[in-house]
Each structure stands twice: as C-alpha cells, then as structure tokens.
Amino acid sequence: MGERKFYESRVVRGLMLFFTLFVACCCLWPRLKLEAVNKTVAIVADYREALPLAEEAGLSPKAALEFLKGKGISGLMVRDYSAEDVQKDAAAGGRGPGRTGPDRQGLDAAAEAGLSVFYRVAPAPAWRLKEALETARGVLAEYPNIAVVAPSGDVVLGYPDVTPLASLLKERGLPAAQLEFSRQLGAAQLDALVFPQLIPLHSVTNEELFARRISRSALRERLVRAAVERSVRLLILRPAISGGVGSTLNSFGAEAELLANDLRAHGLRLGWPKAVFADFTDYPQGSGYGSPYTRLWFFLPCSMIFFLSVFRYLERMTGKTAFGTRESAVAALGSFLLAALASAFEPLARQLGAFSAVFVATEAALTAMDNDSPNHRSLLWGFLYASVGGLAIAALFSEPSYMLRLNTFSGVKLTLVLPPLLVLLHDTRRRVHPESLSEFLSRPPLWGELFLGGALLAGLALVLFRSDNVSFIPGVELQIRNALERFLVARPRSKEVFIGYPCLLLWAFAVRAGLWARCREVLRVGAAVGFSSVINSFCHYHTPLLFILLREFHGLWTGALLGVAAVAAVKYAALPLWRKARFLTE
C-alpha cells in the first residue's frame, strides 16, 4: 500500500508539473511574440560631439552626418542649450549659439541628413517652466523627425511635478527614452506617467569612460550586451575625446560600422525602434494583464509551482507522502485561490513570486541530490525542475511594466540566501548529514568544520555583495566573462558554472566513493546556490526569454564539464597525493 501511494504521489507531481509547464508556455507566448518583433536597434551619435569631428575633417555638418549614416548611425541626439552649456561653449571659443534654448543648428542638420532625432529637453527654473514647455511644444511641432524625447541635466523639467512634460509627450504621441541606471531626479516619475510609450536607452558618459578606463572595444561590447541581453533599443555611441581610436570622423565611422556589424551578427536590425508595448494588443494597456480571468491564468503557473514545491519540501521533511488524492485536491484548489488573490493584490503577487523562487530553487537542488547513488540524470532532473519553475515565475511577471523595469523582481537576495539554508535544515533533519542540528550544536566544534563554516559564510557574503554589483568583479573574471560572451553569445552565469554544478558533481563523486561524510554539506549548499542562480536568471524580465534559455543551457553543459574536470582532478591527482602523503607521515 505504501509503495502504491508513493507511485501515486509521483504521478500526481508529474501531472502538476506538466500542467504548470503547459499553462506557463501559453502565458509566455505573448512575450515571445513581442520579443520576436522588437529587433530594431538605433545607434545614436551626439551632435555636439560629432560637430568637432566634421570641422576637423573639413566637412559640413550635413556631409559628416551622411557619412556617419552610411556607417550605421541611425539617429542624432540634440540637446537644448542650458545656462551651463552656454558658459562651457563660451570658454571653449563660442561654438554654440551663445544663449539658452533649442539647438536649431543640430535639429536642422539632422533633418537635412535624414536622421531621426533623440531630443533632450533642458531643465528650467520654476518661474520659466511655462515658457520652457511652450518652447518645447514649438520645437516638437516644427521638427517632425524628432522621434523620442528625454530630459537632460540632473533634474527633469518641472520636477517635482513632471506631469506637464509627460502630458506634452502624450499629446504629441512621442515616446520617452528610458535611460538605464539613471540617477536623474524625476526620471522614474516621468517614465511611469508616459508608460507604455518608452524606449530603453543605454549611454556611457565620457566621465565613466575615463574613471573606469573603458577601452573602445569594451565600450562596443557593453553596448552590444545592453541590446542583446537587456533589450535596450537606443545606444549612444560617443567618439574618443582626444587622441587614439575613435577621435577622428573616419575612425568614429569605423567604430560605428563595427558596432553595427556586431548587432547584425546577433540577429538585430539597424533602424529606428518603436515603443513596441504601446502597439502590442496582447497586453491591454491600463488594465494590467487585461480581464480578471486573463490575470488568473497568468498567475496560476507560479501559484501551482509554489504549492508543488512547498508540499514536496514538507514531504521530504516529515517523510510522509504529501500528494495523495486529498492532498492533491487541496493543492489544486489552493493554487487557484492563491492565483486569484495575487491577481487582485499586487503586494501579494510580489511575495508569491519571491517565495516561489525560494522553494523552487530548494526543490530543484534537493531533486538533484535525493538519490543514494547519484548520476548524471540527477543533474538533469534538478535542472528541468528549475527551468519549469523559472518559466512559471516568468509567466507571472512577463508584462510591460516588468519588462520595461518600472517594476522589478524583489526576491533576488532572498533566493540566494534561503535555499541553501533550507537545504541545510533538510539535511540535518533527515540525517543526510551524519548529525542532527541539536547534536552538532551540543558538541565542541572541530577545526576543519570551523574552517569550512567560515569559508561558507564568507562565500555567501561575497555572493550577496556581488549581486547587482559589477564593480566588485575581478579583472580576470571579467576577461573570462567577455571570452564566454564572444564564444557562446549567451554567457552562462558564474554561480552555476563555477559553484553550483561542479559542487553537485563533486558531491555525487564523494557519495559514490564514500568520502568526506562530514564535509559533503558544503558541496550540497554550493549546489543550492547554483540552482538559485538558475531561478534568478528567469527573473530578469527585460532579457529575451530565448536568450535566458540559451544561457541556462550553456550554463548546464559548461558547468558539467568543469565539474567533471574537478572530479577527475580529485580522483586521479588529489586523492593519490593525499594517500601518499599520509603513508609517508605514518
């Protein structure tokens, strides 16, 4: 009877997992359709930076811009002149108009060269707000080639009330450029008011180029990465300020051509992008996912994978079958109820996504490590479970406000911390580790355990600190990352390749060989970190879904290869040396 119930439980879990995958794929179909049409990228030059290059080459602005257009430049950034700009131009010899206001020379040159314009509206004092808005209104009416608008300076025009500027853009039917990593006061409010008329933009300032010593090739790679990995569709390419590559018109044109070729090689088209979400009817605007019925289906896969993972964890902890007929009915009814509640209350939806990620990562790790004789299939089953869970969570959040990063996934650090702790709790409870938690705490610690515990805590702190903190990545790792991106296109994540999968395979080897009974827990915790990283990849909603799947596939086979190499090094080098050293010292 017990064996029959065990197989019944497995069948129920399998059916729930398959149904979760099916509904998640149906819900993700609109996202895939959108990503398929959102392939147009514009390389944009700054008029004020291109003008000196034209003068040095002895060409008119129109001729220089036509030359750059032939090299792949699709648009021109033209900024209003602020009081600070006027002062700078006067100090540099008076190249500008000598007064604040629109840069009509740049606007006219773009119109003559047939280039679309990214127009930057300068901030203005409160007493000149009405005048500044009327001036901007006149410029937008006069120049129909203005295709996208964004404020310039440290503060958005009109801040703290940016509604007038947003209303002007809506009146003209113009999208706003959504600047990545912007610290501009009022930018987030403007993006929220203009949504969904937004086009993501990536720009690297000259100050950042100097401060971080970014080479020209690294700059191109960064721009390509923004377009491919984060769906950014406006790329600002700046020439070198003085000397070196990119500081003349010809060399700048050559750089633009290289960047254009790199983008085409990744399947992107050059041209002027549109605010695709504004025309995308699969997501009715102003109503979230649409009707309550539609919202329920978008939320259901995440709710089901949450119940499935939690019930399975309880089943593991208690040793009792959690998926009999009664329990399955409770799980199904609870999934629909939770999905309905989450679709009605946004805070609950966020919590559902965060804790689903935690328990899916935990169950994926335990699935890969619940065999007394682990083999390569253990890794595949854990990976498949994590992938299904990731798709279910992605279905919950794959709608415009998340894909444009107006809303973000709030469980990244939670997903990195809790799964290793839940795996550790499970292992001490079920005696996967030789001692229970109470037994471990009641005896004096061993030096080796203190060392491993300290290393584990230090590693966990490093993982948390490095999360979304690219400035802390060593140069050697950056070189490895860049090499993987060039070779694989979709670079696998470091936590999976260098920690998760190698730890899993080393643990499997240790179990089969009967080694390190008291130290295997470190490897199991490391494996849990790797599966947490898999889930977090699916929570990057601005990244194309097919790119995420390709990244995870590359992470699987490269991590497995590295794990096999680690096992071979231990088996054929480290262990023989250790045995020989022990023999010599005895």
CA dist., res. 176 & res. 182, Å (int): 13
Q: Which amino acid appears at position 216 of this protein?
A: R
CA distance linking residue 251 with residue 241, whole number of Å: 12
DSSP tag of 444 = P
> Can you tell me the distance from the alpha carbon of 54 to that of 239, in angstroms, rounded to the nearest whole number?
12
549 contacts: CB under 8 Å, gap ≥ 6: 387
Q: Shortest CA distance to 381 belongs to which of 547, 556, 526?
A: 556
> Are the beta carbons of 100 and 81 closer than 8 angstroms?
yes
- Tell me 445's DSSP state: P
With b for 16 or more beta-carbon neighbours within 10 A and e for fewer, the 81-103 pattern comes to: bbeebbeebeeeeeebeeebebb
Tell me the C-alpha distance between 294 and 342, whole Å.
13
Determine the pLDDT at residue 1: 42
The structural domains of the chain, ordered by start, are 2-33+285-585 (no CATH), 42-80+108-272 (3.20.20.370)
The DSSP line for 332-373 is HHHHHHHHHHHHH-HHHHHHHHHHHHHHHHHHHHHHHT--SS
Rg (CA), the chain: 28
| 257 token code pair | 């051509």
CA 323, 325, 327, 331: dihedral to nearest 10 degrees?
90
Residues 548, 557 contacting (CB under 8 angstroms)? no
The amino acid at residue 545 is L
Alpha carbon of 42 to those of 73, 272, 280, 487: distances in Å?
7, 5, 20, 25
Do 387 and 534 contact (CB within 8 A), yes or no?
Answer: yes
From CA 335, how far away is CA 356, in angstroms rounded? 12
Q: Are 163 and 133 in contact (CB under 8 A)?
A: no
Whole-angstrom Cα distance, residue 337 to residue 327? 15
DSSP bridge partners of 151: 121
Contacts of 556 (CB under 8 A, 6+ apart): 379, 383, 492, 496, 501
Q: Is 362 left (phi over 0), alpha (psi -120 to 50) or beta?
A: alpha
* 8 A C-beta contact, residue 187 and residue 398: no
User: Residue 291 — φ and ψ, nearest 5°?
Assistant: -70, 160
Cβ atoms of 93 and 278 within 8 Å: the answer is: no
Residue 386 token pair: 């994590």
Q: For residue 395, give the amino acid letter.
A: A
Closest among 545, 27, 30, 541 to 294, alpha carbons compared: 27
Alpha carbons 232 and 450: distance in angstroms, whole number: 46
Find where tokens 């100097």 sit: 210
Residue that is written with structure tokens 């959690």 in the block: 322
Question: CB 256: neighbour CB atoms within 10 A?
Answer: 24
Global pTM?
Answer: 0.87
Residue with tokens 């102003």: 286
Q: How far apart are CA 363 and CA 531, in angstroms?
A: 9
Cis amide prior to 160 (ω within 30 degrees): yes
User: Could you give the angle at which helices 520-538 and 501-513 cross, rounded to 10 degrees?
Assistant: 150
User: Alpha-carbon distance 494 to 480, whole Å?
Assistant: 10
- Quick check: 334 and 305 in contact, CB under 8 A? no
pLDDT, position 546: 93
Mean pLDDT by 10 residues, the chain (586 residues): 62 87 92 91 94 91 94 95 67 59 92 95 88 94 96 91 94 94 91 94 86 83 92 93 70 94 94 86 50 76 94 87 71 88 86 94 93 75 95 89 83 86 90 67 58 60 54 60 73 89 92 84 91 93 92 94 93 83 57
For the chain, how many residues are written? Answer: 586
Identity (one letter) of the amino acid at 199?
Answer: I
Burial (0-12, 13-18, 19+ Cβ within 10 Å), 171: exposed
pLDDT of residue 91: 56
- CA pair distance 83, 123, nearest whole angstrom: 10
Residue 584 burial (CB count, 10 A): 7
Return the pLDDT at 441. Answer: 60
DSSP string, 457-521: HHHHHHHHHHTT-GGGS-HHHHHHHHHHHHHHSSPPPHIIIIIIHHHHHHHHHHHHHT--TTTHH
Written as six digits, the tokens of 254 are 């050559």
